[in-house]
Structure 1
């Protein structure tokens, strides 16, 4: 019974995943190709920073009939991505609400689950972040099983891997590198829990007797148009330091999602149950240096600041915590940094991989120069110095 026993719309029971020898994919290659022009995709969080770029690129693929966007903040302007062969529709809802989610997922063939609460500085209570990132993912998996949706692609983060609480470094790791220990960031903990749910769901039985195929993409620090951390120069400067020395453009993260979802249909036996790091040709250097290049491209007056020793930052964090505690009855300022994030910033954590290229032919759609130019144009437009940057021709 689709991997969920006695399922009902409230998703009240746990997932019973399929065990043993992998079965023949529910959609063989020939059948998947025969479906071209009729595929219906759903993108949770499709109005978000990365989600919107995914929707934009999906709408340009001729084999897709409809792209549904499910987001708690539904912006109808996303529907402007509709093209002649591909319709984009926006549905408002919360992935914590199983009934609303179920209604949105009816008739869907492929789900790209990007919706999440992203919080590095401790501004969101852990229980709330877990309810969305973990509970919401459970709801998505259960709906896939109940509605016989055979493909699920999950957007995760390198924060799900580490750094750990011991601040152990990882240098040039890849998807097969063993890295243990408790994840430092609360956000990373929720993403790790969600990853476990998605990977365990791979091979689960669908209600029609088919099989659920899942895979995961891990993004790192993502830049591009509408990247909030690029505009918030004061409070977000530490965040741009890095979860790893690698950063990647939103356009290329989105393109990797498009390719992975397509090849999950065509080559399920290869991609199902796999994890892929996101990467492109953005220079491999410390994140704050790349951020400086992006900002200085828009405003040459932007200069690098001075290095601050760890102990000074630690003292500033403790002082800020004391001030917040004193002022809490009257005012509660947002934390600019916390110790888990500080430890993450100072820990060497990098990866080097070409797995996505080998498995599904990924190559960056946008070059570093192109991504930097588009980001600089957007920053200037956001500052009111020129009109919005023009989108380029379709990328197919």
Structure 2
């Protein structure tokens, strides 16, 4: 059936989803890539090729009927759609409805329509840091780490992960079996990365000085968006070809981006776009914690129409200052993953985008539908 497969990407108009769609459209074994997204940017259809058609449907994963209609005739689902919020701008119930309820709807639709393969995009936030801010240094997929997850977003991704793993092996309506696996990205950078936009705007507003919150020895992984997308493409294909190996597995996303000091990697990315930027000083934890509490008090005092949006939460602050990194080659061993882009290529591509966008960058969004 090579050349006749139909893939569907939920959230395919998002930051990561769009890159996944672009790479899927170049695979000669795929006939059609469907995009199901509440944003539904039709320009994603430009990725259509002579062999592979890309179609976009506007819809929400919270709407079971719309999902069923979009998924009919699909062979593989890549479920990347999620509501990403790190700053308490979205009620937890609303985030859970999308990230957990939406995942439940996708799984149910796969069973009803007998779609045998589902790849779920999770996050390292589903693992930690925990509320005790215990560090994890260069762990892997088998490393034991316990405790309550700190970030509300991470809580919803952990709930969804549990559902996806429990769904692996479920019977489909045609008597077949559902096979699922999970990818866990960490911080993803690259073209259209909103956090880089924000950091760049902040540095420019401070005369080119990039201050930072984490201690200088804080270790965290960053991965280029093109490599995260490429891992999705390979994992989805191998889930079809080697379901007994990949089904029920979890894989961290990685590439050769340095992971020793997170602040230095961010500085390299931004200074590649603007060499005039300078690395500033460390902002003490206590000072930022007090600023967050003061901001909360102001929001309580001011009338609703004047209340500023939260700029940072304590949960996010705790996550930023806690080392949480992994080191693994599991994706390479299981399905032959190798980064499509080197660190130098990733950095230069990101820098070119930032340079081109510098004149038109506006205030970043505090939450987004992704991936």
Instruction: State the TM-score, normalizing by the size of structure 2.
Output: 0.92
For residues 200 and 239 of structure 1, do their structure 2 counterparts lie closer, same or farther at Cα, with a shift above 3 Å needed? farther
1:317-396 paired onto structure 2 within 5 Å = 317-384=292-359
Residue of structure 1 equivalent to 2:188: 222
Of the three residues 37, 56, 76, the one matched with 1:110 is 76
Q: Which runs of 5+ in 2 are unaligned?
A: 204-209, 361-371
1:84: how far off?
1.1
Task: State whether residues 46 and 71 of structure 1, in contact with CA within 8 Å, keep that contact through their aligned partners in structure 2.
Answer: yes
Residue of structure 2 equivalent to 1:208: 174
Higher deviation after alignment, 342-351 or 261-270: 342-351
Higher strand share: 2
Q: Please give the per-residue CA displacement for 1:185-204, whole angstroms capped at 9, x wherever unaligned.
A: 00000000000010000000
Of the three residues 4, 8, 11, the one matched with 1:45 is 11
Task: State whether residues 238 and 345 of structure 1, in contact with CA within 8 Å, keep that contact through their aligned partners in structure 2.
Answer: no
Task: State whether residues 86 and 153 of structure 2, in contact with CA within 8 Å, keep that contact through their aligned partners in structure 1.
Answer: yes
For residues 181 and 105 of structure 1, do their structure 2 counterparts lie closer, same or farther at Cα, with a shift above 3 Å needed? same
CA RMSD of aligned residues (A): 1.8
Instruction: State the TM-score, normalizing by the size of structure 1.
Output: 0.86
Of the three residues 250, 273, 276, the one matched with 1:298 is 273
Of the three residues 293, 300, 312, the one matched with 2:287 is 312
Higher deviation after alignment, 63-72 or 164-173: 164-173
Q: Please give the per-residue CA displacement for 1:233-291, whole angstroms capped at 9, x wherever unaligned.
A: 26798999699611000000000000000000011000000000000001123322211
Q: Are 1:151 and 2:125 an aligned pair? A: no
What secondary structure sits across from 2:282 in the alignment? Answer: coil
What secondary structure sits across from 2:306 in the alignment? Answer: coil
Task: State whether residues 235 and 336 of structure 1, in contact with CA within 8 Å, keep that contact through their aligned partners in structure 2.
Answer: no
Q: Please give the per-residue CA displacement for 1:344-393, whole angstroms capped at 9, x wherever unaligned.
A: 111121111000000000000001111111111111111249xxxxxxxx
- Name which structure has the greater RCO, CA cutoff 8 Å, separation 6+: 2
Q: Are 1:252 and 2:227 an aligned pair? A: yes
1:168: how far off?
1.1
Q: Which runs of 5+ in 1 are unaligned?
A: 1-34, 386-396
